[in-house]
Every structure is written in structure tokens, then in C-alpha cells.
Amino acid sequence: MTTGYKLNRRDYLGGSLALAASAVAMGAAHAQSQAPAAAEPVKEPPLIAPPDPNTKVPTFKAPPGSIDTHTHIFGPQSVYPFAATRPYTAPDAGLPAFATLHGKIGVERAVIVNATVHGFDNRVVTDAIALSGGRYKGIANVSDTISDRELEALEQAGIRGCRYAFLARLGGKPDFSRVKRMADRIKGLKWCIDLYLEPALYDDFFPQMRSLAVPYVIDHMGTIKAADGGVDQPAFKKLLDLQRTDEKCWVKISGPERMSSGAAPFQDAVPFAKKLIETAPDRVIWGSDWPHPNVRLMPNDGDLIDFVPRCATTAALQRKLLVENPAKLFRF
């Protein structure tokens, strides 16, 4: 990268001290970004909608130390350029807006999941972690060819797992062997694997997930749609069975706006979330998914944190979901 690039980034981070603190840790992710990219897409990726800036004041008061385990930072592109092979283009949603959002919904800590738009360049995540004073951890996108040294550097930078998106629209191909090989390699780091998959892949993937060497997290309540038969639908029964019988299976109570057929307060998503929390109260975590890429209907983050007490109905369950479980899984 050029000197001009570094100057931009230093300006963005607000000082050279912060840059120095993160520079060593950045090395691995930086090297990853130099990997040869696939051919340029023929068409410009579609521009997605920005988040709702008018966050409602929530009714629910999240317990101290609450962790949002699924959020993204997009750019700014002038500092963290998007990958040429990205499936979509996001409006900038940088660290200041990210921090403001969490202040508004009363959440003190976060796990930043690197989004597909940033490809294998994890600096947007590791820079934010370096500036957070221990309040942020991250999930990286890693290539199959990343070295053990680079993985170790990411761990040192606060990364606690890596992500595989198998959604057709994100360009994911249903090849689980990559996940299995990476799981064997990251076992010593105590990382988890973050999986974004659709019910169409359950039958193929679930047996392979059971045999993974590390814990895994299923994003957005398995991307089940409430309209596909409610809580009695076969896919949801399979998900509950996996959750009940495999101690490595964690589920993210996130994306009610993706699951629901309606608008806030996403009433039809409540029974699903409730059942997932009841089934494995020690292996569920919550995420906002701000800034909400590729949603049918842009949610308000105030509504999303207010979703929590409707599905985690006791203070003890809320503490597990928001504080204790993620603190354990991501080693805060």
C-alpha cells in the first residue's frame, strides 16, 4: 500500500500512537489483502441501503457489559477500500457511527464480523479492536492459504474466529471441506467458526458440523423464515436437534427482521428465538447486525434490542445471552 494510504488511515484513526499500537497486529491481515484477487466483476456490485440513523431509545435496559456479537464496519472506503470481488457495495458505516449506535442502545461491547465487502482484508476490524480498550473482538475472513503465523497474529489482534458465508447471493459455494480444514488448524487458537447458511444446506452440512474440531456459531437463527411453516417447520426442528445434541453448536439470536414476514416488533420471530434460548441457554448469543446489509426492510436498532426481553424472559437469561455466553465464547 502507498504512503498516501497510510496517511489517510492515520488521520482516520485519530493519531499515530493508535496506528503504532495496531501496526504490528495488522501485518498478517495486511499481507492477506495482497493475495491475488479473482477477475473483476463484469457489473458494478449493487449499492445497498444505509442503516436508519434515527435509532429509537429502547425500553429495555441491557445489563452492564452487554455484547453485540454481530455487527459490521463498512469502510470508510477512502481508508479501507472494498474488495474488487465484493457481491455488493455498502455505504460507508465507519467506527464513529458504530460507536454511536452502541451508545444509543446501551451496549458496551461488540464482536465485529468482517463483512464480505472487505474480502480477506481484516484491518477494518483489527484497527477498531486496537482502539477499543478491550471492548471489541472480531471475526475474520481468512483465505485457505493463510499461514499459521498470520492466524496467530490475528489472534493477538483480538480476532476470535473466522467466518464462512454460504449464502447463494454472497457467492458462497457449498463446499464444506474448506471449513473442516480450517477448523483443524484453528483448534489450538481456541477460535470458533461462524457459519452463515440457509436451510437448503442443513442436510448436507449438519453432519459435517457435528464432526468439526471447534465450536461453531450459526448466524441469524439459521436464516429460517417464519412464513415457511412456523416453529413446526422441519428445518427448525433440525436446527433445534443439532443445538440440543451438539455441545459445539452456538446460535446467534439475530436477524428477526430477516426471519419475520412483517415489520417491527417482529412478533412472528419471537417463538423461534424463545425456543432456541430455552433449548440451549448457555450457547446462545445476541447480535444487532448493524448496519444491516441486504435486508428486505431496514430495521431500527432500538426495536432489535427491545426484541431481547420478549424472547429471553428472565434477567438471568438476558445476562447469559448478552453478557456471560459471548464473554466466554469470544474470551473478553
Q: Which residue is nearest to Zn ion (CB)?
A: 289
Report the length, in residues, of the chain: 332
Q: How far is the CB of 174 from Zn ion (least distance, A)?
A: 19
Q: Give the CA diameter of the chain.
A: 57
CA separation for the pair 151, 167 (Å, rounded): 25
DSSP letter (8 states) at residue 81: P
* Phi, psi dihedral angles at 64 (to 5 degrees): -55, 140
Catalytic pick from 121, 194, 289, 303? 289
Q: What is the helix, strand, coil percentage profile of the chain, to 5?
A: 45, 15, 40
CA separation for the pair 25, 40 (Å, rounded): 29
What is the H or E stretch that residue 319 is in? helix 315-319
SS3 state of residue 59: coil
CA separation for the pair 310, 78 (Å, rounded): 40
The contact set with Zn ion (CB under 5 A) reads 289
Amino acid at 69: T
Give 164 or 246: the residue with its C-beta nearer to Zn ion.
164
CB 311 within 8 A of CB 273: yes
CA separation for the pair 283, 328 (Å, rounded): 10
Q: How far is the CB of 292 from Zn ion (least distance, A)?
A: 7
289 belongs to the catalytic site? yes
Give 289 or 306: the residue with its C-beta nearer to Zn ion.
289
Give 246 or 289: the residue with its C-beta nearer to Zn ion.
289
Give 198 or 289: the residue with its C-beta nearer to Zn ion.
289
Q: How far is the CB of 139 from Zn ion (least distance, A)?
A: 10
CA separation for the pair 124, 141 (Å, rounded): 11
Q: How far is the CB of 222 from Zn ion (least distance, A)?
A: 14
Q: How far is the CB of 328 from Zn ion (least distance, A)?
A: 22
Give 246 or 299: the residue with its C-beta nearer to Zn ion.
299
Q: How far is the CB of 24 from Zn ion (least distance, A)?
A: 28
Which distant-in-sequence residues (6+ apart) come within 8 Å of 118 by Cβ?
74, 80, 82, 83, 86, 124, 125, 141
Give 111 or 242: the residue with its C-beta nearer to Zn ion.
111
Catalytic residue positions?
Answer: 289
